[in-house]
Amino acid sequence: AQSVTQLGSHVSVSEGALVLLRCNYSSSVPPYLFWYVQYPNQGLQLLLKYTTGATLVKGINGFEAEFKKSETSFHLTKPSAHMSDAAEYFCAVSPISGYSTLTFGKGTMLLVSP
Amino acid sequence: ETGVTQSPTHLIKTRGQQVTLRCSSQSGHNTVSWYQQALGQGPQFIFQYYREEENGRGNFPPRFSGLQFPNYSSELNVNALELDDSALYLCASSLGSANTGELFFGEGSRLTVL
């Protein structure tokens, strides 16, 4: 069975500061890895994903994440936070075979102060 | 290209009642997945439909059932509603059942059970 742990239900940063949202996964084999963002009263939007190849992946809105197999981690970063980044962020995993299903973490709410 | 649309956006039911939620998939997508997102939690996989057949199911009881129609739209039915069924129900569509992680989510149907 796969599982995802997101450290910190809330993360607060100042505008312009580095954003770091942590995600660790548990899986018998390395899964596919994703970050989704959810703005208030909206559905989930894919930020970025890792399937194969380069372990540093870049996504939309200046976000990137690095897959570290040895640490079973897939932390999300952004060099400089913007007020519009305030939202809830979900890390998710899925098996590399079989049908497409996502196992999500509990989410991290990113708060950005001026 | 139209995105994933869900209806209704909000509804209130009482314990023991039945509810039907509807989803229109993104144009060209033949796979629909349903997720339940309880307050403060990440989405949990309910089931997936591919070409009108249930293609996979999460850890939900049989009173959660679904349908997919020839136009790939889908319904989620929940019988004998319980208080814990109160949640945001998210529909996601994708092209093909093979896992690419490219799920496109609707804005959800928020169900309150009193």
- Per-residue pLDDT tens, chain B, 114 aa: give them: 568 999 999 999 999 999 999 999 988 888 999 999 999 899 999 999 998 999 889 999 999 999 999 999 999 999 999 999 999 999 999 887 666 667 899 999 999 999
Residue A105: which of B42, B90, B97 has the nearest Cβ? B42
Q: What pLDDT score was predicted for residue B99? A: 65
Two tokens, residue B99: 């896992």
How far apart are the two ends of chain B, measured CA to CA in Å?
37
**Shortest CA gap A51–chain B (Å):** 8
User: Does B44 sit within 8 Å of A100, measured CB to CB?
Assistant: no
User: Does A101 sit within 8 Å of B105, measured CB to CB?
Assistant: no
- Per-residue pLDDT tens, chain A, 114 aa: give them: 789 999 999 999 999 999 999 999 998 887 899 999 999 878 899 999 998 888 999 999 999 999 999 999 999 999 999 999 999 999 999 887 777 788 999 999 999 999
B54 chain-A contacts, CB cut-off 8 A: none
**Residue written as token pair 């959660």:** B64
Cβ partners under 8 Å of residue B99, min gap 6: A32, A94, A95, A96, A97, A98, A99, A100, A101
Chain B positions with Cβ closer than 8 Å to A: 4, 31, 33, 35, 40-45, 48, 50, 55-56, 58, 90, 92, 94, 97-108
Strand spans (E) along chain B? 5-7, 10-13, 19-24, 31-37, 44-50, 53-57, 64-68, 74-78, 87-94, 104-105, 109-113
